Chain A
Amino acid sequence: MVWEGDRGASGGAEDDLPIFNAENLQSNVKSIYYSRTFLSIIGGVIAGIWGFTGFTGFIFYFLVMAAASFGLATQAKFSVCTYFDSWNRIFLDGIFGGLMSFVLFWTFAYDIVHIF
């Protein structure tokens, strides 16, 4: 088991790092990453089939990501300190990585449905 915590021998308050189980944190973060990547791909396919062009597609992507963030926050029962070390993990991590996958599948689906 890997624990991260304060390094002082007596655990003094001045160098008190929050103690958490890093293995579980990593597994939680991986789980969020998989969810976001999958939803980016699905969002891209939907945007391509629907025929979005330009900004509308990106707005659709951010809407899907917002829905995913809300769903993840619900799954974490809105108590972020039990499962993660900060709110940013739920709301911001993986959004810009997913953007690349979204654009890839968006152009892919758009090409298949509307051009070829």
Chain B
Amino acid sequence: MRVGFMAGILGGILLAHAGYATIQYRGMLKIVEEEFSRPPMNVVVELLLGLAFCIWAALAAPAKFRSIHPDSEENRIVSLPTNLDFMIFNHRGKVFPCNAEYKLKK
């Protein structure tokens, strides 16, 4: 994620520099009284490079995708005691004799 942020900042700096260079280029064009058609090649390269860095930052900086399958490795329920359905309280049930043959009265 740190690399993602650095890449994003670097992309932003490149874009700001490209914008400044284009402003100066337009000022120069005003002096020689020419029409603006497109920025100079080095500015175009800088814009594309900035775009590449920002795309990299946009994909790398947010959190990694988390699997949505309930049975995948990273989603295993390890927090069972905190699940409301399975909370364990300290109660007196433990003094009951445990007899697995108890059946429900019909």
Chain A residues close to B by CB (< 8 Å)? 1, 3, 19-22, 24-25, 27-28, 31-32, 34-36, 38-39, 42-43, 45-46, 49-51, 64, 67-68, 71-72, 75-76, 82-85, 109, 112-114
Contacts and interface: CB of A to CB of B under 8 A. Distances in A.
A67 B65 contact: no
Interface in B38-96: 38-39, 43-44, 47, 50-51, 54-55, 57-59, 62-63, 65-70, 72, 75, 77, 79, 83
A35 B68 contact: no
Most chain A CB within 10 A, of B37, B67, B83, is at: B67
Nearest to A82: B67
A8 B70 CA distance: 18
Contacts of B83: 1
A34 B57 CA distance: 11
Contacts, number: 104
Contact of A50 (B8, B38, B59): B38
Contacts of B63: 27, 31
User: Size band of the B side of the interface?
Assistant: 35 or more
A68 to B, nearest CB: 7
B23 A113 contact: yes
B70 A3 contact: yes
A82 B69 CA distance: 6
B36 A51 contact: yes
B61 to A, nearest CB: 8
B38 to A, nearest CB: 6
Nearest to A5: B70
A50 B47 contact: yes
B59 A75 contact: yes
